[in-house]
Amino acid sequence: MNEELKEQYTAMGIAPEVLSYGEEVENMLKSRFAEIDETAEYNQLKVLRAMQEHKVSEACLLGTTGYGYNDLGRDTLEKVYASVFHTEDALVRPQITCGTHALALALMSNLRPGDELLSPAGKPYDTLEEVIGIRPSMGSLKEYGITYKQVDLLADGSFDYENIKKAIGEKTRLVTIQRSKGYQTRPTFSVARIGELIAFIKGIKPDVLCMVDNCYGEFVERLEPTDVGADMAVGSLIKNPGGGLAPIGGYIVGKKECVENAACRLTSPGLGREVGASLGVLSSFYQGLFLAPTVTAAALKGAIFAANIYEGLGFPVVPDGKESRHDIIQAVTFGTPEGVIAFCQGIQAAAPVDGHVSPQPWDMPGYDAPVIMAAGAFVSGSSIELSADGPIKPPYAVYFQGGLTWQHAKFGVLKSLQALVDGGIVSKLLHKNLYTVG
Ligand SMILES: *Cc1c(COP(=O)(O)O)cnc(C)c1O
């Protein structure tokens, strides 16, 4: 690393020994980073091709107001999404407020009273518990007479095919599969594994709908779940596919009938997809999608860098430093509240927005322990931007994700390590690990 760059890091509070450890780790990752860049290149062309195929024009970047009839930009963007995900149809709207809303919409519009929902891969994401009615909640699927079954993963993390087969019955209408591990300890599923599960389920009941919660998974691989048999894939635009630019939104891609059902539920029966003004957000949706493959690659490099930095210091990391990746989330277990707090404060100190504030644990509604969150994002709550959070309870793990550029993700990870060093948390490990002072 040249002197000028070193001086930049020094001026930004990174000590020389932290920087040199970072360099050592980065050098180990060259070939993996090259693979990630190649996937980004593939996906960049996939997105560009879809935009050209549908003749995205300057007029598409403008929005509509009021009812939003004949919104060329909105309708074209939905065709672009359908092409990117190789589906019959897509719904991509700022009126879909977040990922949970997109998932709830897909479920509530495609299930009818008397139907049963099956989760064949264990407990779904926390916020879906209230959507489904696992935890009692106003307006849940349960209130509408839609029942739910769940088959947990086997102890080794594999699908429990025998019990999945038993759980599929007369009433089973929809199967929900969550690609990312979210905040669980199981591994994230590769698209190939999701494909195997879908094939198994369709082999038992061909007309069952398979939906994939695609949050944090988009553009990490060359294939998406809809390339391997999913009837619907669903996600948030303030994660990967918004490329950091979309200020709001969610998407549902899939079979025409599934998407039409969702549109009629989002707006109204009879109106469906014909209404819903795009206001001024379309150019950020297009430009964000265009950037999404490289932004996702940056976040992925940051996650791998963090895994190797902390694994090298003896902290348990999931996924580990070497394994293949299927989403952008990195968990690191520090084993102490101080570790979690220092890490998050270090990430916050690297932020372009609110970098001067120091996050503290607080009692967030819906959580059973105080939670600390680091988020200094241009888009509030955006987790494709550099961010981290951790509940202050055993095993004292943090979940780290995002970074709009690799350079920023790297700086964030170094800053987190610096905070751990400054707090005296990492020095204890110096003697038995890679990390050496001076
Ligand atoms: C983020 C996420 C959600 C929910 O998205 P929100 O935008 O936070 O509502 C659902 N499932 C998974 C796997 C997620 O990562």
Residues with Cβ within 6 A of ligand 1? 98-100, 125, 127, 178, 180, 182, 213, 215-216, 236
Tell me, what's the pLDDT at 289?
98
Tell me, what's the pLDDT at 366?
67
Q: At a CB cut-off of 8 Å and minimum separation 6, what does 206 contact?
A: none
Ligand 1 atom at minimum distance from 98 CA: 7
Q: How far is the CA of 382 from the centre of ligand 1 (A)?
A: 11
Span 147-185, pLDDT tens digits: 999 999 999 999 999 999 999 999 999 999 999 988 777
Q: How far is the CA of 15 from the centre of ligand 1 (A)?
A: 36
Tell me, what's the pLDDT at 431?
42
Q: State the CATH class of domain 63-279.
A: alpha beta
Span 328-361, pLDDT tens digits: 999 999 999 999 999 999 999 999 999 999 999 9
Please count the other Cβ atoms lying within 10 Å of the Cβ belonging to residue 368.
9
Which residues sit opposite 236 in a β-bridge? Answer: 250
- For a mutational test of ligand 1's pocket, the pick from 105, 107, 127, 216, i.e. the residue with the most ligand atoms closer than 8 A to its C-beta, is 127
* Helix (DSSP H) and strand (DSSP E) numbers for the chain: 12, 12
Residue among 74, 111, 80 at smallest CA distance from 96: 74
Name the E strands within 50-124.
Answer: 89-93, 116-119
Structure tokens at 334: 């520090």
Q: How far is the CA of 239 from the centre of ligand 1 (A)?
A: 9
Q: How far is the CA of 354 from the centre of ligand 1 (A)?
A: 23
Q: Could you say which of 3.30.750.24, 3.90.1150.60, 3.90.79.10, 3.40.50.2020 is the CATH number of the domain covering 3-43+290-437?
A: 3.90.1150.60
**Nearest residue by C-alpha to atom 3 in ligand 1:** 99
Q: How far is the CA of 218 from the centre of ligand 1 (A)?
A: 13
pTM: 0.95
Q: Write down the domain spans for the chain.
A: 3-43+290-437, 63-279
Q: Taking CA 268 as the corner, what is the angle to CA 266 and CA 272, rounded to the nearest 5 degrees? A: 75
Tell me, what's the pLDDT at 185?
74
Ligand 1 atom at minimum distance from 329 CA: 15
Ligand 1 atom at minimum distance from 128 CA: 10
Give every residue of the chain whose pLDDT is below 70, as ranges: 366, 428-438
